[in-house]
Amino acid sequence: MPSAATAAALPPPLFEGDHLDAAEFLRRWEALPDLKYAELIDGVVFLGSPLSLDHGTTHHEIDTWLGVYRSRTAGCQAGSDTTWVVGLKAVPQPDIFLRILPEYGGQSGETDGGRYGAGTPELIVELTGSSLSRDLGAKKELYRSVGVREYLTVELPARNITWRQLVRG
């Protein structure tokens, strides 16, 4: 159990619906090492819900597909469940990403120390189950506004795939 002085020094926990900026969101999240999934979308905190077996197996299949693509395409990097700092009030954690590395002309980078992604990857994939309204609403608008070039949503359990491409902004 932390001492009173240690407890006083810790930032408050994150709660669903908190209104924060990116810096405060990251400060609180980093103080919670057991919290694996949290996002800041348009200044509002969202916490993860339990993931279904369908989500996990579909996630793995898409990871495999993009992993094969990455292994055969120079200058790409793919990953899962990575935090991206994309604005002053936006820190999403997409299910899957594919980016072109900066030295190959990509549009994203890394935060100081390389801990998080900065800017936006070229491709984001979201598997939508319980997060359907957020993925097709606030996150779709966020990704469009910050310049994500391609956005795939996989609606579960039907596995309907919609592939959106940003054209002329």
Spell out the domain ranges in the chain. 50-165
The model's pLDDT over 85-124, given as tens digits with 9 standing for 90+, comes to 999 999 999 999 999 999 999 999 999 888 999 999 999 9
What whole-number distance in Å separates Cα of residue 78 and Cα of residue 3?
A: 41
What whole-number distance in Å separates Cα of residue 166 and Cα of residue 109?
A: 20
DSSP string, 39-101: EEETTEEEE--PPPHHHHHHHHHHHHHHHHHHHTSTTEEEEES--EE-BTTBB---SEEEEE-
- What fold, for 50-165? tt1808, chain A (3.90.1570)
**pLDDT value at residue 4:** 53
Q: What is the pTM of this model?
A: 0.89
> Regarding predicted confidence, which is higher, 53 or 168?
53
**pLDDT value at residue 6:** 52
